[in-house]
């Protein structure tokens, strides 16, 4: 993934990668703008990239305010703006039919995008996404962005935050093995972290997360889950989960699957043993095979 490209999406300079031919596939990474302890970007998919490109016309995009894509204005530090940005990317690239793969917070994004624009999406693949999943205890709320579990996992994070060492350490806490944490992946994430725009996004989220981003995310997520319950997700849907994921725990994935099966007529779930939050990197070739086979079995 070394031929990066840029395109303007509604005034936002947006980085993306593109390779291969055939049916269109879009890969959407996780995380959110203003991450203070980790970095997510399109390069998260580098271990899957060449294999996908052998079968698909594959794209991977840096979400708004992440990677090397520019930050939004402060009023757009919202989940609505994140979904709108990826939809704008599809429109700008002239993509009329696509299969969507989204990891973690990106899994929520592609779910919502699919429901808003079902005519665009052939297949939906949600990967290790607590953001897309119901909470195991309905009384505990729908979203626990800064849960005690996450705080415990990251209690001993090396300083300074967002150094290469710190990013690698955080990634390992969410993984079963460190084998997938490559030097090239760490290096590009460190470069992203060192940008002025990343520091600006971190400061913006400190101001805006509590009063703008989280209330909007909670409201839209509840709406989305209710929409699925009411039969609003008809697109063929595959869930891929790491059995040992310490943050998007398997129980929440199963609860989401129960919800999806009541709505989408074709739905499957694939669980990788010995895999944490980055199941697609920890089992890269098997992940590509599972996704490709699901898409191949989905009618146009």
Cβ neighbour number for residue 250 with a 10 Å cutoff: 15
What tens digit of pLDDT does each residue of 10-41 get?
A: 999 999 999 999 999 999 999 999 998 999 99
% of the chain exceeding 90 in pLDDT: 89
The tokens for 223 are 């709406």
What digits encode the pLDDT tens for the residues 131-150?
999 987 643 444 444 455 56
Q: Is 162 left (phi over 0), alpha (psi -120 to 50) or beta?
A: left
Cα(263)–Cα(237) distance, integer angstroms: 10
The ranges assigned to domains in the chain are 5-296
Which of 139-143, 189-193, 259-263, 269-273 has the least mean pLDDT? 139-143
Report the topology of domain 5-296.
Rossmann fold (3.40.50)
Class of residue 182 by CB neighbours under 10 A (exposed 0-12, middle 13-18, buried 19+): middle
- State the pLDDT at residue 265: 85
Nearest-5° angle of CA 99, CA 105, CA 108?
Answer: 55
């Amino acid at each position: 993934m070394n031929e990066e490209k840029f395109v303007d999406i509604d005034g936002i300079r947006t980085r993306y990668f593109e390779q291969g031919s055939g049916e269109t596939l879009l890969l959407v990474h996780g995380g959110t703008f203003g991450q203070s302890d980790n970095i997510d970007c399109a390069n998260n998919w580098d271990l899957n990239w060449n294999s996908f490109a052998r079968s698909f016309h594959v794209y991977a995009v840096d979400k708004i305010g992440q990677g090397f894509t520019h930050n939004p204005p402060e009023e757009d530090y919202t989940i609505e703006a994140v979904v709108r940005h990826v939809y704008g990317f599809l429109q700008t690239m002239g993509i009329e039919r696509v299969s969507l793969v989204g990891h973690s917070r990106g899994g929520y994004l592609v779910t919502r995008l699919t429901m808003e624009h079902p005519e665009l999406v052939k297949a939906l693949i949600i990967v290790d996404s607590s953001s897309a999943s119901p909470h195991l205890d309905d009384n505990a709320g729908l979203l626990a962005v800064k849960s005690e579990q996450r705080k415990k996992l990251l209690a001993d994070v090396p300083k300074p935050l967002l150094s290469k060492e710190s990013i690698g350490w955080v990634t390992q806490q969410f993984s079963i093995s460190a084998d997938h944490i490559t030097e090239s992946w760490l290096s590009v994430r460190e470069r992203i972290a060192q940008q002025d725009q990343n520091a600006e996004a971190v400061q913006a989220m400190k101001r805006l997360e509590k009063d703008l981003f989280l209330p909007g995310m909670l409201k839209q997520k509840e709406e989305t889950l209710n929409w699925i319950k009411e039969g609003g997700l008809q697109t063929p849907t595959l869930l891929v989960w790491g059995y040992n994921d310490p943050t998007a725990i398997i129980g929440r994935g199963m609860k989401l699957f129960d919800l999806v099966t009541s709505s989408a007529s074709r739905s499957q779930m694939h669980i990788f043993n010995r895999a944490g939050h980055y199941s697609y990197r920890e089992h890269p070739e098997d992940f590509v095979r599972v996704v490709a086979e699901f898409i191949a079995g989905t009618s146009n």
